[in-house]
Amino acid sequence: MSSVESHQEQLSQSDPSPSPNSCSSFELIDMDVGSSYEPVSSHWFYCKIIDSKEMWIPFNSDDSQQLEEAHGSGKDCNERVVPTEGGRYDVHLGERTRYAVYWDEPPSEVRRCTWFYKGDKDNKYVPYSESFSQVLEETYMLAVTLDEWKKKLESPNREIIVLHNPKLMVHYQPVAGSDEWGSTSTEQGRPRSVKRGVENIPVDIHCGEPLQIDHLVFVVHGIGPACDLRFRSIVQCVNDFRSVSLNLLQTHFKKAQENQQIGRVEFLPVNWHSPLHSTGVDIDLQRITLPSINRLRHFTNDTILDVFFYNSPTYCQTIVDTVASEMNRIYTLFLQRNPDFKGGVSIAGHSLGSLILFDILTNQKDSFGDIDSEKGSLRTVEDQGDVPTLEEDLKKLQLSEFFTVFEKEKVDKEALALCTERDLQEMGIPLGPRKKILNHFRTRKNSMGVNRPSTSASEVNVPKENGDYLDVGIGQVSVKYPRLNYKPEIFFAFGSPIGMFLTVRGLRRIDPNYKFPTCKGFFNIYHPFDPVAYRIEPMVVPEVDFEPMLIPHHKGRKRMHLELREGLTRMSMDLKNNLLGSLRMAWKSFTRAPYPALQASETAEETEAEPESSSEKSSEVNPEETPVEVKEERPINVGMLNGGQRIDYVLQEKPIESFNEYLFALQSHLCYWESEDTVLLVLKEIYQTQGIFLDQPLQ
């Protein structure tokens, strides 16, 4: 103790009270010097590693209050487990550790914080340990009670804290170094400000989330482990998506919240990339990867190859099993932790994740029985009505004489559709009738709900060892698609390549009567500059050219630059139409001049009729010059994939993005996590199923 006291005496001699000029580097607290002692209020923090740096983040006010109540509940408080952040994390008080509930994440340290000091570089305040904070509080209490200041304390890290007065408390970090005799230097580093109580530090403490959960949404990521330009994981991106939704509920569903009609929507991430790359495939790829451009090749193996993995039967099975089993596991765990949950479930996928969900949904069953639905896959969708028999088909082809041949060989329509030209030749069918029969069944097969080449191997049902048949569906690789333990209400696709993959698989058209067996809604949401996104509606209605639905801005109306662009376009069209009308009238006047023999009465009648005829012709000629809005006024039937509603929804680009669409292409594919317009559309469609609408409809 004597060495510490002598060291403190040296500090007191070498560190005089700071001058008024030196006080400007510290943040002062407005306190009455003669005030009586009041216990410090505590707040709970957790430590998060961001870019290899420790960041102490406060719990929201409700969670901190629950932790404080559990901490002071009694002797068994160390055995308490407190759910925080909407039930997504559990805090074990005894361990002072925070664990993720629904996904894998390293545990983080938890602290009950009362005293803080300013950090080195980012100027953010760092909490002292709980034990040393208690020492600081006791010293502060004595100083206030006895009015004796300039107290010095040494932290476990041999750092010096000086309590000059209630307004000024500093933290000195000794400069590392020693002389040749081994004695440490007494030179101190730059002093840092010390604060007592969380209310005296600049930190944002949010309110807690509503306890009531109205709806559950599973979010599946696309290729690679990173989901945005900041290389954040799906968990972090979904956290942003959830935060935006909570803010929009307060601004756009304020009446429903005040009437306690709604709580919140829970978004939970589903990760399939880590299980896929933990199968040992990365080791196999590393053996064959060239050593040059190492970072680019690593990025390719870890990200872009996920697309090829999904087109491989082996790894596609791993991916769909992981996605379905994870959603089923999380759903079961969610119901266990929220036994009062009565809401529905929806799913959302970004990029390749939307294609995975689309394939899983098309291979679901419409009931929980053992019989597959007739609408369970796009391949089986046919036109409604009476199906002609084989004899009637041959009669239409004027080939009735060959019906006895097929009847003798016990060949029905299904068997004939599988016959090749060689099979027909072996049955004795001549060349001409063979070509007619093959062309008829090829045309009929392409006129079904899914039009694709008749030679596609994906149309064949692959037999399994147990005797069951595996529905290959719409060109997916031969895998067995697992069943979900729930029926999703809505499927949201963000920046989705579903349309492109269906086309590459040979799918030309989606039957307007087709719908998912277990899901009622489908929204294809994309940014206009997204290079990965494709439309769906032209595959349902290929003969009609129409624009996608424009998603309203979350603040209402269109963005100003879009309105300006439309206004200029409309103005130029009006000027063009007026100019063409004037030129037509001038040309007609010029062509009538060489005929003076016309009677005056006829001329008068013509001049009266000309404005009407010119106006009629101007409305009939050049139909492409009419504004696009006229087309949008007509109702468009886009099929039952979204219950008769529109499917394609496009975001409005920002003004800066409209300058160069190529420059913002990659960013456009990753913009959905923080897009208020996207989140608001999701919330609007979810709550509409519950009869709850926006406070003010967006235009």
Strand, coil or helix: what is 621?
coil
207 exposure class (CB count in 10 Å sphere: 0-12, 13-18, 19+): exposed
Query: What is the C-alpha to C-alpha distance for residues 566 and 492, in angstroms, rounded to an integer?
Result: 29
Phi and psi at 491, nearest 5°, equal -115, 115
603 φ/ψ sector (left φ>0, alpha ψ -120 to 50, else beta): alpha
Question: E strand or H helix at 110, and its extent?
Answer: strand 108-113
Question: E strand or H helix at 350, and its extent?
Answer: strand 344-350
Give the DSSP letter of residue 174: B
255 exposure class (CB count in 10 Å sphere: 0-12, 13-18, 19+): middle
593 φ/ψ sector (left φ>0, alpha ψ -120 to 50, else beta): alpha
Strand, coil or helix: what is 168?
strand
Q: What is the CA radius of gyration of the chain?
A: 36
| 20 contact partners, CB below 8 Å, separation of at least 6 | none
Query: What is the C-alpha to C-alpha distance for residues 666 and 527, in angstroms, rounded to an integer?
Result: 11
5 exposure class (CB count in 10 Å sphere: 0-12, 13-18, 19+): exposed
Question: E strand or H helix at 115, and its extent?
Answer: strand 115-118
Query: What is the C-alpha to C-alpha distance for residues 66 and 57, in angstroms, rounded to an integer?
Result: 17
Is the CB of residue 642 less than 8 Å from the CB of residue 523? yes
Q: What are the residue numbers of the active site? A: 351
- For residue 147, CA distances in Å to 114, 142, 162, 164, 167 come to 21, 8, 15, 11, 13
Strand, coil or helix: what is 449?
coil
Query: What is the C-alpha to C-alpha distance for residues 154 and 152, in angstroms, rounded to an integer?
Result: 7
